[in-house]
Amino acid sequence: MSPTTPAALSPYRALDLTAEIGSLSTMVLAGLGVDVIRVEPPGGHPTRKRGPMLREDEASSLYWAQKNAGKRSVTLDLEDEADRERLRALSETADFLFESDAPGAMTARGIGYRDLIERAPRLIYVSITPFGQTGPKSTWAASDLIGHVSGGLSSLVGEPDRAPLRPSVEQAYNITALNAGSAALIALHARHLTGRGQHVDVSMQAAMANTLGNARLYYEMDGIITQRAGGARAFADRATRIIYPCADGYVAFVRIPASMKALHRWMAAEGGEPRFDADKWAGMSIAGNVLPNDDEVTELESEIESFFAARGAQSLYESGQHHGVMICPVNTMQDIVDSPQLAERGFFDEVDDPALGRLRVPGAPLKMSATPWQSRPAPTPGQDQDQVLAAATDITQGA
């Protein structure tokens, strides 16, 4: 980073004590310039052993590299009072503290919100938990899967003849962490007004309950319980198909009225003979009152199916979009790595990871013209111990 282009949040420091449910929040803040200090137990944070691994050995976690990019690290044993005191001193140098222990666990160790705010009144203390700090389920055991089902999203995901489903990457944790990032910055702006920090209580269940689209509204207004519909939009009592197989994978296409004339032109331009009535389908609103019957839908979908089946996903994407059709490939992780769009925008960065060597990493999730995102590697355990704790010791001795 050249000194003339500081990151947006470079004056601030965060202490990061989170598990998987929270570590993305501080990763984003680190990319925006916050000095994020990972506080790890002796021997390193447990997620350092979490796969996928770059090499055969247990010390090459790509999960760690991704979720802790740009952070620094100190090692503290929070079961030990001397180290807890170091944490308290450190909190006086920090603007944020992020933690995800069970409600009450930090307080039991004398490092809860009330304990720290006394010494560090400007500290924004962000607690990220499955259900929130209080309430009938606040002590319930949970995991990412529990986040999906407790907020209701799983009921809209999956095949009708099988169980409700979660995505196979930990979306409940990640969405919760992003909510915590937004909340922390709102609290930062509040501090500009009040001069004081505060306790931010983030709930995974609430974060997931906010992903239900309009399905809960349909229950409240019309009593409809929207159900999972396979590769289709879960929409009140009518599902609309999204996923279609193609020659080398899958594509996503929704028969919204705005796409139907373009689809007809595209199929004709590719040498097909589309039989469906483009004007009629363009006049049908998915949400409105003019609806096709099941036979019409089946006929249309089978026509689309045979057109897609003869072509590859990326080529359907390029040619369909050039004809104005809202179609997308169902990208694999490799397709994302190979994306010409991401390449042209310079999305991928390279960093020199102290443990893993040169790594190709996903770069800025948003492009800020004056304060660009910083891609930096994840830390080794305790790599910044002396430097960070020396500053905290000065404070303790001064106090």
Q: Taking CB under 8 A as the criterion, which residues in 33-52 touch another protein? A: 50-52
Q: Which stretch binds another protein (CB under 8 A): 38-46, 134-142, 294-302, 382-390?
A: 134-142
Contact 212, 149 (CB under 8 A): no
Shortest distance, position 115 Cβ to another protein, whole Å: 14
State the Cα–Cα distance between residues 390 and 81, nearest whole angstrom.
Answer: 18
* 232: contact with another protein by CB under 8 A: yes
Q: Which of 42, 46, 135, 283 binds another protein (CB under 8 A)?
A: 135
Q: Which stretch binds another protein (CB under 8 A): 25-33, 75-83, 268-276, 291-299?
A: 25-33
State the Cα–Cα distance between residues 396 and 399, nearest whole angstrom.
Answer: 5
- Contact set for another protein, span 111-130 (CB under 8 A): 113
State the Cα–Cα distance between residues 374 and 363, nearest whole angstrom.
Answer: 8
Q: Which stretch binds another protein (CB under 8 A): 80-88, 188-196, 276-284, 296-304?
A: 188-196
Shortest distance, position 139 Cβ to another protein, whole Å: 9
The greatest distance separating any two alpha carbons of the chain, rounded to the nearest whole angstrom, comes to 82
- Indicate if the alpha-carbon torsion angle 188, 193, 197, 200 is positive or negative: negative
Contact 373, 32 (CB under 8 A): yes
* 21: contact with another protein by CB under 8 A: no
Nearer to another protein, 233 or 385 (CB): 233
* 219: contact with another protein by CB under 8 A: yes
Nearer to another protein, 90 or 180 (CB): 180
Instruction: Name the DSSP class of 56.
Output: S
84 contacts: CB under 8 Å, gap ≥ 6:
76, 78, 109, 110, 111
* 3: contact with another protein by CB under 8 A: no
Nearer to another protein, 80 or 118 (CB): 118
Q: Which stretch binds another protein (CB under 8 A): 291-299, 369-377, 379-387, 388-396?
A: 369-377
Instruction: Name the DSSP class of 206.
Output: H
* 282: contact with another protein by CB under 8 A: no
DSSP run (H or E) holding 349 = strand 348-353
Shortest distance, position 82 Cβ to another protein, whole Å: 29
Residue 290, classified by CB atoms within 10 Å of its CB into exposed (0-12), middle (13-18) or buried (19+), is exposed
State the Cα–Cα distance between residues 39 and 381, nearest whole angstrom.
Answer: 9
- Contact set for another protein, span 287-306 (CB under 8 A): 287-288
Q: Which of 187, 263, 267, 282 binds another protein (CB under 8 A)?
A: 187
* 342: contact with another protein by CB under 8 A: yes
Q: Which stretch binds another protein (CB under 8 A): 80-88, 252-260, 266-274, 389-397?
A: 252-260
* 170: contact with another protein by CB under 8 A: yes
Cis peptide before 167 (omega within 30 of 0): no
* 196: contact with another protein by CB under 8 A: yes
Q: Which of 19, 59, 178, 284 binds another protein (CB under 8 A)?
A: 178
* 136: contact with another protein by CB under 8 A: yes
* 319: contact with another protein by CB under 8 A: no
What one-character-per-residue DSSP string does 264-314 give? HHHHHHTT----S-HHHHHT--SSSS----HHHHHHHHHHHHHHHHTS-HH
State the Cα–Cα distance between residues 290 and 285, nearest whole angstrom.
Answer: 7
Residue 136, classified by CB atoms within 10 Å of its CB into exposed (0-12), middle (13-18) or buried (19+), is exposed
Nearer to another protein, 251 or 300 (CB): 251
* 399: contact with another protein by CB under 8 A: no
State the Cα–Cα distance between residues 123 and 198, nearest whole angstrom.
Answer: 7
- Residues in the interface with another protein (CB under 8 A) total 154
